[in-house]
């Protein structure tokens, strides 16, 4: 079973407002992310927010840990609820390839260009907890390397919407995978 998680606990500093609520094609970015994961996952949660268009989980061990805090929360939730795998994405992706899980293959793997988009074994939760509580950077690539995740190049740029200009450019030129 696959649990989907939208990592949505960021502060949106570069965006200037809550980018999860920014609109693309008549939908909020958070709704687009939840809907995308819902087509591939048995259940979807949103990490790092109190309110969302799906059930929420708080970042672990606390807010402010970046995407790894949201992923840690999702991996812990997955283990507790009996899920084998977690498919993750950031709230700021916008659009996804049509067959994201197939492109990533079996867990563990992440996109080379955007490691927040990945497929992770729920059993990796203790390793991620060690990364978050230990010395060294709290970086997605570090966690990915610790568990031997493959970095997948899908040959197409996946949008990463960090600024209002990024969003406007995507709205003008729809992306497809």
Verify cis geometry, omega within 30 degrees of 0, for the bond prior to 105.
no
Neighbours of 59 (CB within 10 A): 24
- What pTM does this model have? 0.93
The H-assigned helical ranges of the chain are 29-38, 67-81, 100-104, 125-133, 140-146, 164-172
Across 45-74, average pLDDT: 95
CA atoms of 132 and 66, how far apart (whole Å): 10
- Taking the CB of residue 1, how many other CB atoms lie within 10 A of it? 12
pLDDT digits (tens, 9 = 90+) for 1-53: 999 999 998 767 777 778 999 999 899 999 999 999 999 999 999 999 999 99
Q: What are the chain's domains?
A: 2-172 (3.90.550.10)
């Amino acid at each position: 079973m696959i649990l989907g998680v939208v990592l949505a606990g960021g502060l949106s500093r570069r965006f200037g407002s809550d980018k999860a609520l920014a609109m693309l094609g008549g939908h909020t970015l958070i709704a687009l992310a939840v809907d995308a994961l819902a087509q591939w996952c048995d259940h979807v949660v949103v990490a790092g927010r109190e309110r969302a268009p799906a059930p929420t989980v708080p970042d672990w061990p606390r807010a402010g840990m970046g995407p790894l805090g949201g992923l840690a929360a999702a991996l812990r939730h997955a283990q507790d609820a009996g899920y084998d795998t977690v498919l993750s994405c950031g709230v700021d992706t916008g659009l996804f390839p049509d067959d994201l899980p197939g492109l990533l293959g079996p867990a563990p793997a992440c996109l080379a260009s955007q490691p927040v988009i990945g497929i992770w074994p729920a059993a990796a939760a203790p390793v991620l907890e060690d990364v978050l509580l230990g010395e060294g950077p709290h970086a997605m690539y570090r966690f990915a390397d610790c568990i031997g995740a493959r970095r997948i190049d899908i040959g197409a740029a996946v949008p990463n919407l960090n600024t209002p200009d990024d969003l406007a450019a995507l709205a003008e030129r729809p992306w497809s995978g």
